Amino acid sequence: MIGWVFSGKSAAGNRILRAEVFQSGERTLKILKQSGEVEGREVIIMDTPGWFKFFPAGFNPPDLKSEILKAVSLCSYSPNVILLAVPLDTSFTDEQRRVTEDNMRFLGQRVWRHVIVLFTFGDALGNKTIEQHIESEGQPLRWLIEKCGRRYHVLDNWSNADNQVTELLEKMEEMVAGNSSFYLSETDDPQPEEDRSEETNQNKDEDTAKEITEQLMIEWDRRNWKEFKGSSSMITRVTFSKGEQRSEGSEGEEEEIKHQHEDNQFLELESEDDAGSDTLNKMRRLLEREWSRREAVMELFYKRVYGGE
């Protein structure tokens, strides 16, 4: 199972195995392997770390790629399916199309023959059908569906409807019957040789952005969702000082963000010090959007688990 952070992968894994074996509501750091018998079938699920929803693949944690490759290698000697989690509670824009394609690129072009789009948070559809949703979302989501050979399935994260899991397993078996197992070889790497002439100009901004990303991961881990059990406002403080690593007590820009469910909008930074590098400013905006998405999903999870909704 692959997808961006807080896309519902772990909850979907629990639904498929019909057991609480994956930890929902927390970021997956390493691949987690769980198995069980489902309707007479031995099912093995690998839950992998998620990539950022808004950041380009180059700004993911350094071990994300190796963890996904490890999961692929562990499954290479048996029929396998790659479930790409796409949550239905948020739009799949052209930005998400680019990020998804960017993060799938290291697996090679053959990977798409083994992918089923798994729409999570299926209850967000309401009275719409999944086909109506795909059509209304526009070209980016239609591109993804076509890329995966029009293989997709809807799974409600909070329902216990067994027929959804049964139908998913049938789709997986049908796909496996027409494919050999997916594995990576040395010839699968599609990465072209980089243009070294541009590296010097880009290194400084990229290093700064990666430092910010590293600080995001530190802060993300520190602010475990359990700290918010008693909070109804779900307010998080994100602090940056341009050119420096963030810290709780650092001087510089500090902004309190009350996170919204509308994670597609850019949140404006009320700072007079926005005249720095374009890359740094862009990363700061993307970072706030990642936090906004995180808090929206965590609030939903909190209400479902502890609020009895």
Per-residue pLDDT, averaged over 48-66, amounts to 85
Q: Which pLDDT does position 271 carry in this prediction?
A: 38
Top-confidence residue, 298 or 104 = 104
Q: Which pLDDT does position 85 carry in this prediction?
A: 96
Top-confidence residue, 198 or 162 = 162
Domain with CATH 3.40.50.300 in the chain: 2-188
User: ∠ CA(274), CA(275), CA(280), 5° rounding?
Assistant: 70
pLDDT band at 238 (very low <50, low <70, confident <90, very high): very low
CATH of domain 2-188: 3.40.50.300
- Classified as helix, coil or strand, 227 is helix
Is 60 exceeded by the pLDDT of residue 232? Answer: no
What are residue 147's phi and psi, to 5 degrees?
A: -60, -30
Is 80 exceeded by the pLDDT of residue 66? Answer: yes
Contacts of 109 (CB under 8 A, 6+ apart): 190
Amino acid at 277: S
Top-confidence residue, 7 or 56 = 7
Q: Which pLDDT does position 243 carry in this prediction?
A: 38
**How many residues are listed for the chain in this entry?**
309
Radius of gyration in angstroms for the set of CA atoms belonging to the chain, rounded to a whole number: 20
Contacts of 12 (CB under 8 A, 6+ apart): 1, 83, 85, 118, 120, 155, 157
Per-residue pLDDT, averaged over 276-291, amounts to 65
Highest mean pLDDT among 129-143, 188-202, 214-228, 293-307: 129-143
pLDDT band at 54 (very low <50, low <70, confident <90, very high): confident
pTM to 2 decimals?
0.71
